[in-house]
Amino acid sequence: GAVVSQHPSWVICKSGTSVKIECRSLDFQATTMFWYRQFPKQSLMLMATSNEGSKATYEQGVEKDKFLINHASLTLSTLTVTSAHPEDSSFYICSANTAGETYEQYFGPGTRLTVT
């Protein structure tokens, strides 16, 4: 099956610094990638949709200047949390879409961000 990786798997940073999270599709080309965040014991909330070579589209309430998304190639999307604050601490998960069918969306293992 299709594999999506994320790096790092966990990161701790100080308040005010920026953190970059990578999402890679390892054995397929992803036309679209999605970024979610998940708080403890809560559901996944879609943050943004990332298409290769174009600007990401953000969901309502998500600050695009705080969560910078770059989709540089068909196998790599990055999420940068800028000027991180403790309330940004969360589990960030990416997913990648293959042939365009909804069910062919594969999720990465997630990145746990803790901001101190």
Residues binding another protein (CB under 8 A): 4, 6, 32, 34, 41-46, 49, 91, 93, 95, 97, 100, 102-103, 105-110, 112
Pick the closer one to another protein by CB: 77 or 95. Answer: 95
62 or 82: CB nearest another protein = 62
Distances, alpha carbon 90 to alpha carbons 3, 44, 115, in Å: 22, 11, 9
Give the integer Cα–Cα distance in Å for 37 and 111: 9
Shortest reach from residue 8's CB to another protein, in Å: 13
Residue 44, beta-bridge partner list: 38
**Residue 43 CB, nearest approach to another protein (Å):** 4
Give the nearer residue to another protein in terms of CB position, either 4 or 79.
4
Closest CB to another protein among residues 63, 104: 104
Q: How far is the CB of 87 from another protein (least distance, A)?
A: 20
Q: Which residues contact 46 (CB under 8 A, 6 or more apart)?
A: 34, 35, 36, 59
Query: At closest approach, how far in Å is the CB of 46 from another protein?
Result: 6
Location of structure tokens 């070579």: 53
CA nearest 21: which of 113, 114, 115?
113
